[in-house]
Copies of this chain bind each other. A is one copy, B any other.
């Protein structure tokens, strides 16, 4: 018959197993970050390659594709290690289904590259296809952050996700600006989109700053060259306000400075990944130490009970019972507190969930594709000068008065 102490130790071992699984997920997040970075570079180069009708970056693009393929292989190696056989992964279902989306999207990548190589699509189309792939990869990171069972690790993953998402908006801005400067003029839609991308970056980096360890933020600060952002701001001002002809030569400047900025972000991302790894390792070690202590305390309790002549080690007598009881109570309370803290950390992910839900509603009721639904929300936000999440909330509050879907 299992005793209270069996369950006490089992609870602790569950915690350790969850942390170990989490450590594996964090490793996966790290290699996904590297893969996304490689894809972002490829997207940037492909954009200019297409924009220049094949005149620019042909060799660099091919070189970058090789790097991308290496990073992809690394992601696939990590995915192969994910234990899809263990049926008890915490929220494994959602994580696995996000992975399925990514793997499916990757099947289409070689065909996409071939079309770009023979200039059979526009720069905007190529960007859109790669944005979609990156967004699928970011969904895996989001899921990892949302299902992490440790508040500290969860917070670090929330910071990592928002940093990666912010960097992706910066990458999209690089592509958009590249197209605008290459074309030599900007239209109203591009102007709105540009502003949206700048605002979205700010929002993401704010959450990242709120959730990050002060040492990470310090290292981040140290890694940045203030001249880079100044140059980008200058080019943004030119691209976004000059309504007439733009100097098409600025396209290369824009790409150069944006790439420097994104490379700086890459260094910070590596820091964040290292921090995550270290954090997981420390938490596992700590939980293992606590398990050892608890086991030792329980052994001592049984030994004392036996030396006091009790026939069976339990019940232990009033004194020992109180020690065991306080140990059990303390553990429940601690786990409860962890749950509360996790809920608090996850609220920073709720905004994204609201937007996802509003998108789903539009897809169901307006027969829109996912992209169309997102664009519709973004357009509403831009027209009304409000935040995307507020518009999403409004759409959802209308759900009750909408007719039921067939």
List A residues 130-158 near B (Cβ within 8 Å).
139, 149
Q: Please tell me if the beta carbons of B12 and A107 are within 8 angstroms of each other in the complex.
A: no
Q: Please tell me if the beta carbons of A7 and B84 are within 8 angstroms of each other in the complex.
A: yes
Q: Please tell me if the beta carbons of B14 and A93 are within 8 angstroms of each other in the complex.
A: yes
Which of A170-178, A179-187, A228-236, A324-332 interfaces with chain B? A324-332
A242 at interface by CB-CB < 8 Å: no
A13 at interface by CB-CB < 8 Å: yes
Q: Please tell me if the beta carbons of B329 and A94 are within 8 angstroms of each other in the complex.
A: no
Q: CB-CB < 8 A to A11: which residues of B?
A: 92-97, 100
Choose from B5, B80, B103, B353 the contact partner of A4 (Cβ within 8 Å).
Answer: B103
In the complex the two chains form, what is the Cα distance from A104 to B320 in whole Å?
12
In the complex the two chains form, what is the Cα distance from A333 to B80 in whole Å?
24
List A residues 80-113 near B (Cβ within 8 Å).
80, 82, 84, 86-104, 107-108, 111
Chain B nearest CB from A329 CB (Å) reads: 7
Q: CB-CB < 8 A to A86: which residues of B?
A: 88
Q: Please tell me if the beta carbons of A335 and B93 are within 8 angstroms of each other in the complex.
A: yes
A1 at interface by CB-CB < 8 Å: yes
Which of A16-24, A56-64, A121-129, A269-277 interfaces with chain B? A16-24
A360 at interface by CB-CB < 8 Å: yes
Q: Please tell me if the beta carbons of A84 and B335 are within 8 angstroms of each other in the complex.
A: no
Closest residue of B by beta carbon distance from A324: B104
In the complex the two chains form, what is the Cα distance from A301 to B358 in whole Å?
32
Choose from B21, B329, B360 the contact partner of A88 (Cβ within 8 Å).
Answer: B21
List A residues 308-345 near B (Cβ within 8 Å).
314-315, 321, 324-325, 328-329, 331-333, 335-337, 339-340
Q: Please tell me if the beta carbons of A97 and B1 are within 8 angstroms of each other in the complex.
A: no
Closest residue of B by beta carbon distance from A329: B101
Q: CB-CB < 8 A to A339: which residues of B?
A: 94
Most buried by B among A15, A96, A97, A360: A97
Q: Take A14-B87, A101-B4 as given contacts and tell me if A333 and B314 are in contact as well, using a CB distance cutoff of 8 Å.
A: no
Choose from B80, B100, B104 the contact partner of A1 (Cβ within 8 Å).
Answer: B80
Chain B nearest CB from A306 CB (Å) reads: 16
A381 at interface by CB-CB < 8 Å: no
Q: Please tell me if the beta carbons of A10 and B84 are within 8 angstroms of each other in the complex.
A: yes
In the complex the two chains form, what is the Cα distance from A100 to B7 in whole Å?
5
A215 at interface by CB-CB < 8 Å: no
Choose from B82, B104, B149 the contact partner of A328 (Cβ within 8 Å).
Answer: B104
A6 at interface by CB-CB < 8 Å: yes
Q: CB-CB < 8 A to A108: which residues of B?
A: 315, 321
Chain B nearest CB from A77 CB (Å) reads: 9
A406 at interface by CB-CB < 8 Å: no
20 contacts between A and B (CB under 8 A): A4-B99, A4-B101, A4-B103, A7-B99, A7-B100, A8-B96, A14-B87, A14-B92, A14-B93, A18-B93, A88-B89, A90-B91, A101-B329, A101-B332, A104-B321, A104-B324, A329-B370, A333-B360, A336-B356, A337-B360
